[in-house]
Amino acid sequence: MKSMSKGIVYLVGSGPGDPGLITLRGVECLRRAEVVVYDYLANEQLLNHAPPSAERIYAGKIGGRHNQGQDEINALLVEKGHEGKIVVRLKGGDPFVFGRGGEECEALRAAGVSFEIVPGVTASIGASAYAGIPLTHRDYTASVTLVTGQEGKDKDESHIDWERLSHGNGTIVFYMGIKTLRRNMERLIQHGKNPETPVALVRWGTLPKQRVLTGTLADIADLAEKNDFKPPAVTIVGEVVTLREKLRWFDARTLFGKKLMVTRAVAQAGEFATMLTERGAAVIECPTIRLVEPEQWEPLDAALRTISSYDFVVFTSGNAVRALFQRLDTLGLDARAFGDCQVCALGPKTAESIKTFGVRADLVASDYKAEGVVAEFSKMDITGKRILYPRADRAREAIPRELGKMGALMDCPVVYRTVLPDRLPPEAIFALEKRSVDCITFTSSSTVLNLAQMLGEDRMLDMLKGVAIASIGPVTSRSCRELGLKVDIEPGEYTLAALTDAIEAFLTT
């Protein structure tokens, strides 16, 4: 055996599609990667775990024919390993279940390159679970057989023991067998399997675009042709398929099959996207805002160095909270700098953001608009009180104006700016152009105004014809209407949770 090189190749199973199904070890490997070689079936969102500097190589572009391409992939892994690189070979499903991981490991071992296997959720396990079909069940079967659906292109040759496969009562799962579906089903029947045996096809299992088609051995091929059912998919054969209608959960969620567009800044979009995907929606992130530093730090820094001298600090968003505490840290300060200064938060979510930095809000405005803060302070005498209001560069003037009228001494330094992103994501533009978006969400006036600026008002209005418009509140709604958009959804409470509920109610009635 050759001596091992200093490089290492991690063969990481990425799971069947849902990016949340990768293992913690898989994520750890990606975070250390210098090179990532990824498959067609590996969710590209997982590449975000790798450092920006990591080289990303799509394996589908390597080589031509299938076997020739595999040889070239093996050679690439060996080459990068010999260069001393940390390489992640990101494979759909599990590397050792119809993933050709064994062949890649053999090539690495022969070349003296160290490797590690990181198992993943294989397609049969993930797709069946998300389709609501247990592969084993004490009342139905205690065994499962995994079979390649592409084996033996010549009908007269097969290494599968069809006789034994057909006479057992265990669940059978064919991988990647849609193109050979009819032949495989016929072989099972020819070797004694009951033609009425239930069958399910699961396409794009675990993803929002998952499709499930059920039938029997006798009719599933006809149903697949009639419904234009295409790869990639697994075929599940067995009585357990009948449990789907009772146990289905993933594609029974309220927003399943709906495509929603979120226009929040990248740093903000995750929370909202999670709320929507948990209800089954397919979310396209289209950030129309980018959060950046103030043009000058001096006004904010001067206020922060004497923050304990203020009577109140007013926070109206989680963005302002995070930006201010980041700047405090840069200045070598922390929550102790607040001293006896009281804190006012606009809404409980902002209060939660403040609490994560070790500070509790003394006042929490229940109204989610600036007027809520004004209402809280109107209950007290603030004449001569010093109030610090760290704000976005485009924040409304309601708070400083109205509190100033009450006699407060206001300092309102900019803590962050909102600017246009360099471009809109191509996948978002494509989705709008092909009219596949069901609903677009706007969570501030800037999100809709920036979209209009980047697309052009006329083009935006054309692209959003037939798309439900969801606005978080009246100020944002007014901006939408001024641009000529009809607002279909506006919650009574101006929070992401309430907006999610309102979207669900609108799209499911």
User: pLDDT tens digits for 91-139?
Assistant: 999 999 999 999 999 999 999 999 999 999 999 999 999 999 999 999 9
pLDDT value of position 68: 56
The confidence band for 62, taking pLDDT boundaries of 50, 70 and 90, is low
User: What CA–CA distances, in Å, run from 56 to 82, 101, 384?
Assistant: 18, 19, 59
pLDDT score of 372: 86
Instruction: Report whether pLDDT(10) > 70.
Output: yes
What is the mean pLDDT of the segment spanning 368-380?
A: 88
Of the candidate ranges 22-36, 156-170, 195-209, 284-298, the one whose mean pLDDT is the lowest: 156-170
Mean pLDDT of the chain: 93
Q: pLDDT > 70: what percent of the chain?
A: 95
Q: In sequence order, what DSSP letters do the residues of 342-376 get, joined into one string?
A: EEEEESHHHHHHHHTTT---SEEESSSSHHHHHHH
pLDDT at 64: 46
* pLDDT at res. 12: 98
Q: May I ask the CATH class of domain 8-120?
A: alpha beta
Cα 29 versus chain centre, distance? 20
Q: Which of the following is catalytic: 61, 246, 379, 434?
A: 61
Q: Do domains 8-120 and 295-418 have the same CATH topology?
A: no
Q: Which residue out of 39, 219, 251, 311 is catalytically annotated?
A: 39
Confidence of residue 4 (pLDDT cuts 50, 70, 90): low
Q: Does domain 295-418 have CATH number 3.30.110.70?
A: no
Structure tokens at 41: 């079936």
When pLDDT is averaged across residues 385-399 and rounded to a whole number, the result is 92
pTM over 0.85: no
Q: pLDDT (tens digit, 9 = 90+) per residue, 443-500?
A: 999 999 999 999 999 999 999 999 999 999 999 999 999 999 999 999 998 889 999 9
pLDDT of residue 256: 95
pLDDT at residue 369 greater than cutoff 80 = no
pLDDT band per the 50, 70, 90 thresholds, residue 44: confident
Give the pLDDT band (50/70/90) at residue 417.
Answer: very high
- Whether the per-residue pLDDT at 42 is higher than 50: the answer is yes
Backbone dihedral region for residue 228 (phi beyond 0: left; psi -120 to 50: alpha; all else: beta): left
Number of other residues whose CB lies within 10 A of the CB of residue 457: 13
User: Tell me, what's the pLDDT at 2?
Assistant: 54
Over 50: is that where the pLDDT of 63 sits?
no
Q: Is the pLDDT of residue 155 over 80?
A: no
Domain 259-289+421-507 sits in CATH at: 3.40.50.10090
Q: What is the structure's pLDDT at 509? A: 84
> Which whole number is the average pLDDT over 494-509?
94
Q: Taking Cα atoms as reference points, which of 171, 410, 421, 413 lies closest to residue 312?
A: 410
Query: Which superfamily, per CATH, for 125-251?
Result: Tetrapyrrole methylase, C-terminal domain (3.30.950.10)
| Cis bond upstream, residue 287 (ω within 30) | no
What is the pLDDT at residue 157?
66
Domain map (residue ranges) of the chain: 8-120, 125-251, 259-289+421-507, 295-418
To the query of whether residue 501 is one of the catalytic residues in this protein, the response is no
Average pLDDT rounded to a whole number, residues 354-378:
89
Known catalytic residue at 39? yes
- Which one is catalytic: 176, 185, 275, 463? 176
Looking at residues 410-425, what average pLDDT do you find? 93
Find the mean pLDDT for residues 28-38: 97
Residue 269 has pLDDT above 70, yes or no: no
- The full DSSP string for 85-145 is -EEEEEESB-TTSSS-HHHHHHHHHHHT-EEEEE----HHHHHHHHTT--S-BTTTBS-EE
Angle of helix 474-482 relative to helix 445-455, nearest 10 degrees?
A: 20
Residues 369-390: what's their mean pLDDT? 92
pLDDT bin (cut points 50, 70, 90) of residue 271 is: confident
Which pLDDT tens digit goes with each residue over 289-303? 999 999 999 999 999
What pLDDT does 3 receive? Answer: 57
Residue 40 — pLDDT band, cuts 50, 70, 90? confident
Q: Which of 59-68, 253-262, 408-417, 457-466 shows the lowest per-residue confidence on average (mean pLDDT)?
A: 59-68
Is 411 tagged catalytic?
no
Both tokens of residue 7? 């490089």
